[in-house]
Structures are given as C-alpha cells and as structure tokens.
Structure 1
C-alpha cells in the first residue's frame, strides 16, 4: 500500500500506463494482423491444392487415352500403322490430348527375333530402320508407332527405351503390375538444343491375346509391348497452368520434383531460374502427388509483393484506436500529476479535479458503445465484458451459452444465429447488424464484428467479437434518405413548372416573329427577338437536361438485354441529315449487348454522339469508332472520335454539372451531358473516363453490365 501511494510511484504511473497501453496495442494489432495473414494463407493453400488436383486430373485423362490405345490392341487381330495413325488423329481433337508429345507403341523384341523384326519394318517402307542404341542385350524393345509422326517424333522411331534404366524401371513396373506406370525424370530423345525441357513417360502394357496374365511370371511371358506417351514437362504443365487466372499466377511459382526436393530432380519450374532466385517467397507449400507409385513433389511459392494486396485496414484501425487511447490517458494522467507536483498549494482542488477527471474517464470507458464477447468451439458464449452486461442489464450467468440471444429482436433472431453459425462452421470472419434489447427495454442497432481465434498450432479456439451501437447512424441515414427523396421530388416539380413557361416563351417569340413586319424592324429589335428565343430555347434544354440528370440513377423502363447497335441506329437516323452534311463516318467493332433499360442507354450514346458532332475538327472529316469487349461479366465500351479533343487537365472537370470547355461551338451546351453519362454509368456500378484518341480526338471508356 505504501508503494502505491508513494510520490515515486505516482510519477512513474503514467509511464507504466503508456508502456502497458503500447504493449497491449501492439499485441492486439499483431493478433489482428496474424488473423488477416492466416486467411490469406488459407486462400493461397486452397489455390495450390486446386492446381495439384488439376495436374492429377490431367494425368488421369492421359492415362485413359493410353488405356484406350491398349484396348485397341486387345480388340484387334493386328493394329496397322495406318490404323494407329487414324486412331491418334481422332484423339488429337480431345482437349485432354493437349500437352502430350505423342502416342506410340513399343514392341517387345526377343534377341532371337531381332533380325526378323528389323527386316519386317524395313519392308514397310523404312529401309534405313534399325534399333538404337545398337549393341548386344538380353532383350530389346522398339518404338514402331508414334503419332504424330513429325520431325521431332521421328528421332524416337526405333529407339529401345528398355536400354535406359529409368525408362526400363517404369516399363517393368507396368508389365509386372498390369497397370499404368509413370517414369522418373528423363531427357526425351525427341529433344533438341532449342527449348530444352525435362521429360517423363507413361506406359500401359499390352499382352499377347489368349494368354494368362494372373501372375507376374505369366505377364512377363505374355508381354507383347507397351502403349506409351512421352511428355515434355514444360508443355504439359504450362497447358494445365493456362487454365488459371493470369494475374494470380504472376504471384505463384510452381516447381515439380521427381521424388524428393533436390536440384537434380527438378522436372518443371514456372519461373525463370534467375527470377526464381531473386525473389523472397511470402509462403511456401510442398504437396505430394502420387500416380500409381510415382511420387511428385509440388512446391508452391507465393512471392513477396502480393503482401501489398492484403487488406490491413482492421489492423490499422486497431492500432490507431489503441495508440490514441493510450496517449490520451498518458497525457491526461501526466498532466494531472504534474499539476499536483508543481502546485502543492492547490493540492486539495487539484486532487478533486484529478478524481473527477478519473471518474469521467472511467464513466466514459464503461459507457463506451463497445461490447465484447467470447465463444468456445461449441458456439457457446462464455464471456461478456462489463459494457455488454451494463447494456443488457443482465449478469454474466444470465448471458452465458446462448441465453444472450433472448435479448435479440424477434425479427433479427434467426438472421443473427444463421449468420453466426454459417461463419462459425467455415471458420470465417463475419460482420452483421442486428437489434439488441437494452436494459430499459429499448432495442438498439449494433454492428457486430466477429473473428475466429486459433492457438499457435492452429487449433481452433472459438470466436471473439466486438459490437458498437449504430442506432444514431441508422436514424441519421434514414433522415438523409428522406431528405434526399424530398429534395429530389422538389427539384422534379420545380423543373416541371419551369419547363412549361419556357416552352410558351419560345412559342410566343416565334408567333411574334410571324405577326411583326420583320422588314420594318430595326437591327436591334431583331437581335432582341433572336436573343430572347435563343435564351428561352437554351433554358428549355437546360431544364430538360436537369430532369434527365435527376432521373439518371433509376431505370425508366424494364432492365433487360439491349442491343447497342439498335439504339445507335435510331440515333443516327434522327441525325441523318447533319451526319450527311458534315460527311461523318461511323464504325462498329465487336459490339456486345448490355443489361440496362433502353431510355438510359439511349441517353448515354445520344450525349456522346452529339458531343462528337458538335466538337468535330474543321480540318478533316469526322470519324467515330464504337467498340466493346467483355471483362468479368462487364461490357467495356470505347466511344472514340477524331475531333478537337479535350486537354488532359479538363478531362475530369467536364464530368461536373455545368462544366463546359470555353470554345466557340460550346455556346448552346448546357454543361450537364457528361455529368448525366457518369451518373447513369455509376448507378450501374461502372465507371467512365476520357482518354486521348491516337491521332487526336477523345475516347470515352465506360463499362456496363454485360
């Protein structure tokens, strides 16, 4: 007790609180950061496993192709070279054939039949045929069929694969087990000095007809040959990897090893060797892939640089809140303690102020709208902080397990539990809003954020969640929505009431022109009538554009698939005379339909077309090119002209309401057109920008649902 009341302790207390607060903030921020990176790691691991499964599926597909080739030998009295060529050509159209170097047959040749075999093949039109490598051996094999029979595969014609140890081991395994086998790492005889790649071969045994093959000895005696396929690992795996997202694959390096991870066992690497050595992986995962006893090790690396794509906003919020609270408390305590030390004569008053300050701080901390809860692995809540208990007016015992849910609003009860259970089962973070009954019986809106908790060994421990009271925000949002709706209605009514008098003024001026003897009016009177008519006409156009702008964010007819060509064709027909007079040329390239209501799509292209016609270049004919492409279910349109263009510093400003370029041809513009285009596009979750057209002019790039 004396230590707690000593002057030295009081002086050290702010620093202790500062140190404790900084440590606590650091631990909390690190915990949030670890949770974020763990989620990113799980996503990376899932992506790697998907690649592994794709590779296994591709090998299984090639296995089926080889089995079908073996079945052809089993079902035929004799398979000729021509029949084998037709068979392979039919298979080459199958997408699963991609990545295979070829499909061939290697025949078993006993030593006593070697001369007869070579004579037979030479008689088929290959006078230079002979087995390679030459030499005397206990047994021979020869590749007699290999399609496609191109220049590369011709190098393997007559090759004795049984003479090489790695190939022989795989051939013996297939023969003895009567099953598909995959060889280890080899260098294919088809390889040249250009684009050298590691290779592997897949074998399926073919036995003589009507021979027993129940035992290993019987299979060896009945052997006829092997249907096989050589693979260049780069060609095979690049085809598999091409099915994945290019942007994601930019950050993933894949290496495939034959067996254990050793440099000499490397079968494939998706990165250039120099590049692979220059980057530091963010994560590395090794996965095993077993194909009928042949083990491949797949080593995945996610390279540094993808860390910038991780959203650390929650960590920064935690860090900022913790630091600000810690420093606020530190400064508050230090200030009060300094006042006590420096003003001994005011000890009583300062002591009272300090107590009041501490009391206010505790009151603020206890009443802050931050409710914290913890749950275990059975979804049962076992802890609620004092703020929660004070909010609900219940004791900890009354809230344990799922009894806290009794304070949920009946309309939110099922939604809240379903959201919590679904996220819990997937071990994912969640964010939800619901109403919770306060101790006075009033339901308050809460924003609840929950994240899963894991031990150091990644054992799941349960969830931690925090809630803040957003009732006032919800109420203010509702008020703002009502005010926006009222303002929108008022503007529509005002525009409507302004439109009719303006139209009447235009009509009155036109009638006045017809009644007055224009040849007797002086020039000033004629100009006055002209300016009145022009001003009224511009006012009418301005009011019309305002009405279109206000309605731009809402569909004006059913949303459906619309052909842009039909819409532009209608607009061109309406402006056919002007287009013909100025000699404008309009081109369409790769047009895709969009999902939007027809009136708003017509507004977009009407404004862009009128701008192109109005701001055309005087020195050459106007050309307009309209093209589109599909990107992620969005139709990205490019509307390009070769007009006078827009300086780069104005390309964003012209999207503002009443923003116009100060050019001579701009006098009749209302300055709202491009603002309407942006409002329509953004209401469809899109964006619009202006770019310079190569050779001069401006290109509007925007996207709509495709």
Structure 2
C-alpha cells in the first residue's frame, strides 16, 4: 500500500510538466497546420500568376502575328507598294500605343545577283543615298531590308542588311517560307543596338509569295518566294508592360530553344541567383519555337504569406502552457502542504492517546489505593467518597479531550479535501472558458511587428556571415588548387554585358556615372565564363567601393593577338608603394575598409589559373585602371 502511495505521489509531481508539454504539443500541431495552409495558399497564388504571365506573353505574340498578317495583306492587295504607302500603313497601326515592345514593321525582298547593282541604284534614287546590301560577299541570292518603319535612328541602321546571311535569321526565314506561316528567330543581337543599353533580341517573319501562283507545295513556295514582312524585337522592351509582371513579386528568365543555359538566356529581369521559395518552369511554343520561362518568387512576394494567426496561436499556446504548468505546480505544493499538516495532526493525536492511556493507568492505581484506605478507615468514609468523585470527573474529562482530538483530526482531513477540490474546480472552469474564448484571443494583432523586425535583423546578419564564410571557402579552395575550371570559347563582350547589368543596380542613389564600351566585333577567348564573370564583378565592386562620385567605365578592345579589358574609375586611387601588395591575400589598400581582404587575392589566383595577365595603373587621388589581357582565339 505504501509503495502504491509513493508511486501516485511521483506521478502527481510530474503532472505540471506532462500537462504543459501535452498542451503545447497540441498547440504546435495546430500552428504547423495553419502555417502550411498559409504557404499552400501563397503557392496557389504563385501558380495562378505564373500561368497568367504565360498567357500574357502568348497573347502579345498573337497580336504581333496579326500585325504581320495585316502587312502581308497590304502586299497581296497591290502589285507594288511604295515606300510612302508602307510608311502611311505602319503609322496608322500606332505601334507605340497599340503594340508596345515592337521595334517596327519591315519588308525584306529577294534580290538575284544579276540584279544587285540595279537594285541598289533604284533604292538610292528613292532618297537613301548611302544604301547598300550588306554584307558584301558573293552569295547565290541576296535579301535586303528595303522598308522598316518607323524610320528612326535605330531602324536606319538595318536598311540594306541581308538577314539571310546570318544563321539564326536564315533558319527562321526558311521555316516561315517552307511552312507559309509565322516563324521567329533564335536569340540575336539586333543591328539596332548601338549604345550601352544592349539587349538580346529576336525577329518574327511572314513570307510573301508570287500571288499569281497558289504555292501549295514546298517546291512552289521555294521557287516563288518574293520576300518577307518582318518585325524586330528587343526582349526587354518586349517584356515591358505585362500587367502581372510589372510589380516586384516575380523574377522572370527566358531561355531560347527550350535549353536552360547562359548561352541561351535571352532575358533575366533581376539577374540574381538568390534561392526562391517558389519557382515554375514553363515551356511556351512561340510561333513554332520553344521558349522556356523560369519564373521565381522574390522576397517581396514571399513576405505576403499570412502567418499572423499561426504566430498568435503559437504564442497563446506557449503562454497558456506556462500558466497550466503554474496551476498544477501549485496543486502539487498544496498537496504536499496538506500531507505535512495531516502528518502533524496524526502525531498530535498519537501523543494525546498516549497521555490518555497513562492517565487511565494513574487513575486506576489511585482508585485501588483509595479503596484500600476506605477499608482501613471507615470513619472517614465521606471524605473518600468525595475524592473518588473527583477522580471520576478527571477521568471523564480526559476521555472528552481524547474524543475532541479525534474529531479535530477528522475535521482537518475534511478541510484539506476542500482546499484541494477548490483549485482543481477553478482549473477545470478556467480551461473550459479559455477553450470557449480561444477564437477571440486570435484577434489580437499587437504581437507581430517586433518579432518580424527581430527575425529580419537575424536574417541580415546571417547573410552577412554567410558571405564572409563563402569568401573564405573560395580562397581556401584557390589556395589548395581545388577550383574547377571549364574552359570554352566565349565572347568576352557577352560576359562584360552581364557584369554591367548585374552591377548597374548597385549605383542607384549615387553620384557615379557607369559606362560600357564594347568592341564592335566579337572577342573570342578560351576561358571559364563563370569564373571570368566573378573576376569582373569583384573588380567592379572595388571600383564602386572606392569611388564616391565621378565615373566608372568598363571597356574592351583588341589587337592581333590579345584582348584587353579595362575597368577605370575616378576614385581615390592607390599609392604606388601599396600597389604590389594589394593582390596578396588579407591585404587591403585602405585599412578602414570593412572587407576580408581576400577579393583581389582571389582575382589574382583565378587570373593565373586561366592564363590572364592582370595589371594596375593608379595614382593616389587620381583614380585607378585595372587591365586584363587575354590571349585571343582565332575563329
């Protein structure tokens, strides 16, 4: 029996912990379910809007196809279309207002080699004195852009160009001719690109045939093709204005021909590699050519997840679990106190019983003695009777005291039972009331902002620490010779353009002008494009860090054997005595810089590994010029 009581007491002592843990576990399950529900709702919204972006792009392509069909109808309705008539037709379309993103509408005609010179004279006679068919090399036949409206500065650069001479354009023109339908080209750089704001582009073609022939067979279409109406597009301008895309909720990348690679990348809205909570990989068939849309959520979109009720539930559950623990802990203390008081009462009762027993024995002895005395002295009989009555009264009083002590013990046990029952009833009533009012507790919204701000600060410091760790890991790999390089023939101008676009946003709100000057022809080198981009971004980051105002210029040029890239800034420059040391690890030109001192050391190591010569020309207070010399690869 005693062992059973001890077991019950132990179980009762752990009740505060068990009750609090069970209640918090239930609360956490509900919190997790509410949290998952909130993220699932955001996922559904992301999926819906991703499909909406796809629909908008497809709708825009269809509208541009209608523009080309209208232009084809113009040519089919007349024997010949003059330049002025074509200009009037395109102006009536109001491209800027009704068809945003399109650069213009043009016509490219086929020119036999025998009629090339006469054709050039004819177009020059129409007022375009510098007209010529380019490129100049001999071919089986030529095509020439003769009309392109609006006839602005960008579009003038394309007049006379033979699009059939370039592979991507030729494939699309052949596909449109053979299928007698709209076709678009792969990723190209338009002739209209002439400034620093270079974009990838594509072209849309629709064939024009000799209308006197039905052109139902492939052979007939190839023999009677007259030319193509077409439209050029700059991809950034093409994407501008999509309603669901204009906010900052999504990062969109577009890859040509269904291949996700840097080479096929046509468009990257934010040009960053941050991990996203949601992403969607969608394939669009655009006029017979596949585009891959990679749509990713941004932190702005992900912050829309509604965790307020879930967080309130978790907090309320934690508070109530602590309260429940406190109540049960108090019950344990009350029970221990009651047991101690009961033990003391039992001890007192035992003492009183002993006293009563001793008193009875004493009284019996005294009665026996008095009886003997009565037998010896009868003459004093009355006196002895009186004494005996007194002794009987004392004995009765002692018995009454013993009974009172027993009654006191019974009353004490009853009182302790009441004291235990009262708080237990309060706990039951409070729990019932709390469950009844729980939904109203969730309406309190004053508990979220501080927690969110704290988590943002933790996240920001965690990202900063992660960047420092990444720098150290990269340099450690470089020191151990464990950096992997994938050498391939790449166009340096493309990597420079990517570096320019990635860096440009860092200059918002500064007094720095950022210029990009690219060599007019492709610069082909055998390098690792990803590592070379890392080198450029590191050098540009240093230029921005030490240039408070003025300009930064990224430029390229070449000679017979080498390609040169220069990054020039108007910053504070580097003292001559410090220039040799800045490429050493952990060395900084400015001791006040908060960096790790690993950047230029890592740049030097990667340049050495890829056979790139890096040099510095700088004067203190006069800015700096970093030059990269790369051996040219002949194509």
TM-score bracket, shorter-length normalisation: 0.5 to 0.7
Distance 2:198 2:252 in 1: 18
Quote the residue 1:91 is aligned against.
93
Preserved contact between residue 212 and residue 222 of structure 1 (Cα < 8 Å): no
Preserved contact between residue 41 and residue 283 of structure 1 (Cα < 8 Å): yes
Quote the residue 1:671 is aligned against.
none
Quote the residue 2:335 is aligned against.
340
Preserved contact between residue 95 and residue 104 of structure 2 (Cα < 8 Å): no
Query: How does the TM-score come out when normalised to structure 1?
Result: 0.48
Query: How does the TM-score come out when normalised to structure 2?
Result: 0.53
- Alpha-carbon distance change, 40 to 344 in structure 1, aligned in 2, over 3 angstroms: same
TM-fit CA distance, 1:225? 1.0
Quote the residue 2:276 is aligned against.
281
Greater relative CO, 1 or 2 (CA 8 Å, sep 6+): 2
TM-fit CA distance, 1:127? 4.8
**Which consecutive unaligned segments of at least 5 residues does structure 2 have?**
343-412, 444-635
DSSP-derived class of the 1:79 partner: coil
Distance 1:46 1:261 in 2: 23
Choose the corresponding residue for 2:427, options 355, 361, 384.
Answer: 361
Quote the residue 1:255 is aligned against.
253
Greater mean alpha carbon deviation, residues 329-338 or residues 42-51: 42-51
TM-fit CA distance, 1:203? 0.7
Preserved contact between residue 339 and residue 350 of structure 1 (Cα < 8 Å): no
TM-fit CA distance, 1:303? 2.0
- RMSD of the alignment, in Å? 3.3
Quote the residue 1:270 is aligned against.
269
Quote the residue 1:235 is aligned against.
237
Quote the residue 2:14 is aligned against.
12
Quote the residue 2:323 is aligned against.
328
Choose the corresponding residue for 2:82, options 64, 80, 83.
Answer: 80
Distance 1:296 1:190 in 2: 23
DSSP-derived class of the 2:263 partner: helix
TM-fit CA distance, 1:146? 0.8
TM-fit CA distance, 1:149? 1.8
Distance 1:3 1:67 in 2: 95
Distance 1:448 1:316 in 2: 9
- Alpha-carbon distance change, 209 to 25 in structure 1, aligned in 2, over 3 angstroms: same
- Alpha-carbon distance change, 76 to 94 in structure 1, aligned in 2, over 3 angstroms: farther
Aligned length in residues: 369
- Alpha-carbon distance change, 448 to 282 in structure 1, aligned in 2, over 3 angstroms: closer
Choose the corresponding residue for 2:289, options 285, 294, 315.
Answer: 294
Distance 1:302 1:32 in 2: 21
Preserved contact between residue 248 and residue 301 of structure 2 (Cα < 8 Å): no
Alignment partner of 1:34 is 2:36:
yes
- Alpha-carbon distance change, 306 to 85 in structure 1, aligned in 2, over 3 angstroms: closer
TM-fit CA distance, 1:21? 2.4
Preserved contact between residue 193 and residue 199 of structure 2 (Cα < 8 Å): yes
Trace 1:135-534 onto structure 2 (pairs within 5 A).
Answer: 135-238=137-240, 240-241=241-242, 243=243, 249-258=247-256, 259-271=258-270, 273=271, 276-277=272-273, 281-341=276-336, 343-346=338-341, 353-354=419-420, 357-366=423-432, 370=436
**Which consecutive unaligned segments of at least 5 residues does structure 1 have?**
373-430, 432-445, 450-706
TM-fit CA distance, 1:448? 13
TM-fit CA distance, 1:367? 6.4
DSSP-derived class of the 2:148 partner: strand
Distance 2:314 2:85 in 1: 72
TM-fit CA distance, 1:45? 3.4
Deviation by residue 1:10-49 (Cα, 9 ceiling, x = unmatched):
3333223322222222221122122223323333333333
Alignment partner of 1:117 is 2:119:
yes
Deviation by residue 1:155-212 (Cα, 9 ceiling, x = unmatched):
1111111111111111111111111112111000111132111101111111111212
Distance 1:92 1:320 in 2: 59
